[in-house]
Amino acid sequence: MMTGTLQVVTLTPNPAIDHTVTLERLVPGAVHRARSEQFEAGGKGIGVAAVLAALGVRVAAGGWLGAENPQRFERSFAQAGIVDAMWRVPGRTRTNIKLADAERGETTDINLPGIAFDASLLAGAEAGLLQTLRPRVGPGTWLTVAGSLPPGVTPADLARLADTLRAQGARLMLDTGGTTLRALLEVLRPAPDFVKPNRAELEDLVGHPLPSPGAVADAAAQLQQRGVALVVVSLGGDGAVIASQGRRWFAATPPVPVATTVGAGDALVAGTLAALIRGRAPLDAAVFGMACAAARIQRIAPGLPPLAEIDALAAQIRPHAL
């Protein structure tokens, strides 16, 4: 097992076992016969950690796991080479259902709420998690805070954890949405180093629709004005808007067959972080992240193809300034 500080530590407060059921076509109200099913350790931060490990980045997965059913996560971490920095709490980790429509290349998510924390449980869980994370965080370590919050955990609780680790030199990446993202941006000082909302999350943050890449870029510029160094806004199949160093770009996604959209955002975040760690400029890093996402959506099974295939996809992505 790796010891000492790592390149990335992900923080997933509300992990889940992802149960993906693949259908020929999803028809509401109809009885379906599934083509296949698959279970995997899920949660945004855990998905990011899996892609980072596949890219050769030294990474730990942190967060809270239910003590009654951690085995799938433990096996997944061991197989992928991810350091297990999860703190076990009483209860069972939730299961999320994902219905993959093979004909449309779309996925419908049904997410359960997760383990409920009261004040006493949260105090012990926070102390325990910091106990596992502090030895693995040092100057330059990326702390990636991703996903939803379980019942009883607030954005202020998450900010307190992040601030403690930033005091040890961690750089902060946020991949959260809705009220959590808004609340964290209001209280975190300095601002996060890297934020990756999708279009809907950014629309929720600014309070109005963003119908075009230009409108998305204007909203991303507002985040930069708050001090966020790199903003990558995913636009689904349309591509992404990237904002850094006072400039904004739009980049279209390369045309690829879509097997599932599960894990695309995680691959985008992980690929961008891996490229930043290896010294690439922010724009080039985000393009590599987009290529990882384009590679990920072509397969139901988790994982990435060989690096040469990802680089070939990256070569097809040509950002243009907005």
- pTM here? 0.92
The whole-number pLDDT of residue 106 equals 85
- Asked which of 190, 222, 255 is the last residue of a domain, the reply is 190
The whole-number pLDDT of residue 1 equals 47
In the annotation, is 266 catalytic?
yes
Q: Which helix (H) or strand (E) holds 273?
A: helix 264-277
277: phi then psi, degrees, rounded to nearest 5? -60, -35
Instruction: Select which of 157, 193, 266, 284 is catalytic.
Output: 266
Q: What is the CATH number of the domain that holds 218?
A: 3.40.1190.20
Strands lying side by side in the sheet with 16-23: 36-42, 16-23, 94-101, 106-110
State whether 167 and 264 are in the same domain.
Answer: no
State whether 256 and 277 are in the same domain.
Answer: yes
State whether 202 and 92 are in the same domain.
Answer: no
Q: Domain tally for the chain?
A: 2
State whether 91 and 130 are in the same domain.
Answer: yes
The whole-number pLDDT of residue 3 equals 57
Sequence length of the chain is 322
- Asked which of 161, 190, 219 is the last residue of a domain, the reply is 190
DSSP 190-208: SPPSEE--BHHHHHHHHTS
Q: Which helix (H) or strand (E) holds 179?
A: helix 178-187
Which structural domain range is residue 216 located in?
Answer: 193-322
State whether 144 and 57 are in the same domain.
Answer: yes
Q: Taking the chain (322 residues) in consecutive chunks of 10 residues, what is each chunk's mean pLDDT? A: 81 95 94 93 94 96 98 96 97 95 89 96 98 96 96 96 97 91 93 96 93 96 95 94 96 88 90 98 98 90 86 96 94
State whether 149 and 177 are in the same domain.
Answer: yes
Write out 24-90 in H/E/C secondary structure.
Answer: CCCCCCCCCCCCEEEEEEECHHHHHHHHHHHCCCCEEEEEEEECCCCHHHHHHHHHHCCEEEEEEEC
Rounded to whole angstroms, the Cα distance separating 100 from 23 reads: 6
State whether 186 and 200 are in the same domain.
Answer: no
The whole-number pLDDT of residue 262 equals 75
The answer to whether 236 and 201 are in contact (CB under 8 A) is no
State whether 177 and 237 are in the same domain.
Answer: no
The whole-number pLDDT of residue 179 equals 85
